[in-house]
């Protein structure tokens, strides 16, 4: 079911990845983008734990991230590290981007 909802990976940069890039450069995120990023992370982790949590309000980026998390333990560990805190650290944003780069060739 999750694979059927997969987004086109060739789309322009999604807000979640834009936020990761900004944060990894140790710059401050606008409040709305920070909240969006947190929502994507929490929804994705929730989907990995229980796919039945997907509903009409689930963000497409969260579903895509959940698919990626299911395929890469390294990526899952990078995301879960800070997802419980109030804000994602620049170091964790860098770790997520690095894990995605290593994971990308296997897609």
Q: What does the pLDDT look like over 55-73, one tens digit per residue?
A: 999 999 999 889 888 888 8
pLDDT band at 54 (very low <50, low <70, confident <90, very high): very high
- pTM equals 0.77
* Residues contacting residue 51 through CB under 8 Å, at least 6 positions apart: 1, 2, 66
Helix (H, G, I), strand (E, B) or coil at 13: coil
Report d(CA 72, CA 39) in Å as an integer: 20
Domains of the chain, residue spans: 14-106
């Amino acid at each position: 079911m999750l694979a059927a909802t997969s987004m086109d990976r060739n789309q322009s940069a999604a807000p979640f990845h834009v936020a990761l890039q900004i944060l990894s450069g140790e710059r401050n995120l606008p409040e709305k983008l920070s909240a969006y990023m947190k929502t994507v992370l929490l929804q994705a982790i929730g989907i990995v734990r229980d796919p039945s949590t997907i509903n009409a309000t689930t963000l497409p980026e969260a579903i895509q991230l959940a698919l990626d998390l299911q395929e890469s333990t390294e990526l899952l560990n990078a995301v879960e590290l800070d997802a419980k805190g109030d804000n994602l650290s620049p170091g964790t944003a860098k770790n997520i981007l690095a894990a995605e780069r290593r994971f990308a060739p296997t897609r």
